[in-house]
Amino acid sequence: MRRINLLYLTVPLAAFLLFLIYKGLNRNTAGFYGVAENQETPINLEHSCTILNILVTEGQFVAKGTLLMEVRRTDLEFKMSELNHDITELLAKDRLTMDEIDGKLERLRAERAEKVGLIQGKINVLEAELAMNRALLQELTPGTSPDTTGLASSPYVTKLQSLQEELRLAIEPIDAEIESLVRIRKLSGVPVQTVVEKLKNEIALYEKEQEKLKIYAPSDGLIGNIHGHLGENISSFNTLISFYEENPNTVVAYLHESLSLQVQVGDTLSITSSLHSTETCTGYVTGLGHRIIEIPERLRKIPEIKTYGREVLVRIPAENKFLQKEKVVLRHLHPAASSVFSIF
């Protein structure tokens, strides 16, 4: 009788046992692994800015309201430059207008002085001649009043009156124009100065805003990555600082594909630290992955064997003692209809 080689029996038997163990580990327990993670809050600005001062370091714990960074907005410099240019242009135009008015006033005053000098010279000559004739008549007819000599109605007096009227008619329009220009000169600078003051006030506001923009911690937490260096320009909406809450508030877990239908959004799970079994809390499922992916080695029941599953997002209370990226064990407690959600 032919002898049977025991190797042919033991190898299939061992393979079958390993298969049963593998299936049991993945199917017969509702427990699966995940990691506790802090919620990341990217801190950014809606304007481009330049980093002036960094007051924290990566990994540092800070309290709510702690000053993290001081920045300067680069767009404000451009706005202030435009406003200064507008002020310069307004003042230049105003100065040009003033110079034109001053030139006209100077020409009118010179014209007035010329006309007054010319006519007044003629008047002075006639007045001198009239005075001299009165003196001569007084000497020839002593005791006689000058008014009785007939000089009051002489051609001299008539000519004097004519010259005085000519002087009045010559200077009156010039004086009116000078008065008008002086009034225009006084009033023309008022609207310009009003606009200039308004622009200067805008610049002052921008300067105050520009002096130092300060970024504070939104809550107690940890500083993640600092994206930038002193003097570096950061574009709008680009992250300046990655901020994490003090305690993890989310667990990212991977459920074996054979159990993927047993957990639904809203289900309640028990979360326990893989290192400290006394550290535990309750969470609820907030999201499920839409595809089957390879489970990370650290979160496999048997790290050496590749397994596949579905990503599960679990919300946990902020009052927990888990560390960032700490490995935890999740176990299914109740379906979505549970009223445990109210504790969050």
Residue 300: both structure tokens together? 């496999």
Q: Are 56 and 66 in contact (CB under 8 A)?
A: yes
Q: What is the DSSP track for 10-50? A: HHHHHHHHHHHHHHHHHHS---EEEEEEPPEEEE--SS-EE
Residues of the chain scoring pLDDT < 70: 1-9, 11-12, 14-30, 141-154, 211-212, 334-344
* 235, burial (CB in 10 Å: exposed 0-12, middle 13-18, buried 19+): exposed
- Report DSSP state, residue 343: G
Q: What is the per-residue pLDDT across 232-264, written as a single tens digit (0 to 9) for each?
A: 998 888 999 999 887 888 999 999 888 877 889
Q: Residue 334: what pLDDT? A: 65
Q: Residue 217: what pLDDT? A: 92
Q: Residue 67: what pLDDT? A: 93
* SS3 assignment for 157-223: HHHHHHHHHHHHHHHHHHHHHHHHHHHHHHHHHHHHHHHHHHHHHHHHHHHHHHHCEEEECCCCEEE
Residue 14: both structure tokens together? 């061992």
Residue 191: both structure tokens together? 């609207």
Residue 217: both structure tokens together? 């911690």
Q: What is the per-residue pLDDT across 285-302, written as a single tens digit (0 to 9) for each?
A: 999 999 999 999 999 988
Q: Residue 337: what pLDDT? A: 43
Size of the chain, expressed as the number of residues it contains: 344
Q: Residue 282: what pLDDT? A: 93
Helix, strand and coil content of the chain, in percent to the nearest 5, comes to 50, 25, 25
Which residues, 6 or more positions from 68, have their beta carbon under 8 angstroms from its beta carbon? 43, 54, 55, 56, 62, 215, 216, 217, 223, 241
Model confidence, pTM = 0.46
Q: Residue 318: what pLDDT? A: 81
Say how far apart CA 242 and CA 270 lie, in whole Å: 29
**Which residue is associated with the tokens 């599960």?**
312
